[in-house]
Each structure stands twice: as structure tokens, then as C-alpha cells.
């Protein structure tokens, strides 16, 4: 997958720059993108103004078509993990569902809560393994 990134300004973290200046090797700190091809920061060290998609959603925002600005890289259980960062200033508000979409979602959720055997709507979703409510699966309609 080829990623493009918006090279606005170099966002450096002064503390990590001090550690690099002391000769400490930081494998996932590359604010200029020379080593990894895109500005890269260690886990929990992203500069202010750069957010992951989950963080954008928590603020009621979406990337809005902007390219990836930077990334966070870390090792987890021996595997390299990556989270892409987006510029919060360029993010757009999340779109709201139309009334017709909300009605369709309500119908779909009601269908998931309806038992295929007895036809009653429960306050939980039917297990996909049986497609029946717990009363019908346990051995009879109550």
C-alpha cells in the first residue's frame, strides 16, 4: 500500500531530540520521515494536533479525505504495530445519518433481535449459531 503524507512542518518532540542528542538510539523516532518515509513517532509520543482515527471520532471528527500526516510505530508481542495520524486542524465533522438511514438501522437491529422460531422480539440479539432466542434453544417455547 502506497501512502502519501502531508508534509506541513516538521513536528519535533524536544525531549526525544534531547535523548537523540545524548546518543540514545530511538528506532521509532523519525520526525522528518527520512528513515521510515513518513514522520514516525514512538508509542504515546505523537505531537499535539496529530490524532488517530479513533481519537478523531472521539472528538466528533473524521479525516475528511486528507492524507496520512504521520504514524506511530511500536512493538506488541513481537509484532510491529502502526497507527496512522491525521492533522486535527484539517479534520471535518462527522456526517449525521439521514432520517431514512436511522429507520433502516432500527429495522435491521429489530430483525437481529427477533427469534426465527417463535417470532418474538427480545432485548438481545439472537446468537448467529442458532438463530433462536435462549428460550427456544433451551428446549421449548415458553
Helix (H) or strand (E) holding 61: strand 61-62
Q: Is the pLDDT reported for residue 13 higher than 90?
A: no
pLDDT at 35: 86
Q: What's residue 12's pLDDT?
A: 83
Q: Say yes or no to pLDDT of 87 above 50.
A: yes
Q: What is the pLDDT of residues 42-84, one digit of tens each?
A: 988 889 999 999 999 999 999 999 999 999 999 999 999 999 9
**Which residue shows C-alpha cell 430483525?**
111
For residue range 29-46, what is the model confidence (pLDDT) as tens digits?
888 888 888 999 998 888
Can you tell me the mean pLDDT for 5-19?
70
Amino acid at each position: 500500500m502506497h501512502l502519501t503524507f502531508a508534509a506541513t512542518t516538521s513536528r519535533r518532540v524536544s525531549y526525544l531530540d534531547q535523548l537523540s542528542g545524548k546518543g540514545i538510539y530511538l528506532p521509532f523516532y523519525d520526525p522528518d520521515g527520512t528513515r521510515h518515509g513518513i514522520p514516525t513517532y514512538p508509542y504515546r509520543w505523537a505531537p499535539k494536533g496529530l490524532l488517530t482515527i479513533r481519537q478523531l471520532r472521539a472528538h466528533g471528527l473524521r479525516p475528511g479525505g486528507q492524507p496520512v500526516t504521520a504514524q506511530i510505530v511500536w512493538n506488541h508481542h513481537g509484532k510491529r504495530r502502526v497507527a496512522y495520524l491525521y492533522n486535527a486542524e484539517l479534520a471535518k465533522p462527522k456526517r449525521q445519518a439521514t432520517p431514512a438511514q436511522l429507520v433502516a438501522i432500527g429495522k435491521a437491529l429489530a430483525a437481529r433481535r427477533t427469534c426465527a422460531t417463535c417470532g418474538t422480539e427480545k432485548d438481545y440479539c439472537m446468537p448467529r449459531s442458532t438463530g433462536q432466542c435462549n428460550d427456544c434453544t433451551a428446549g421449548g417455547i415458553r
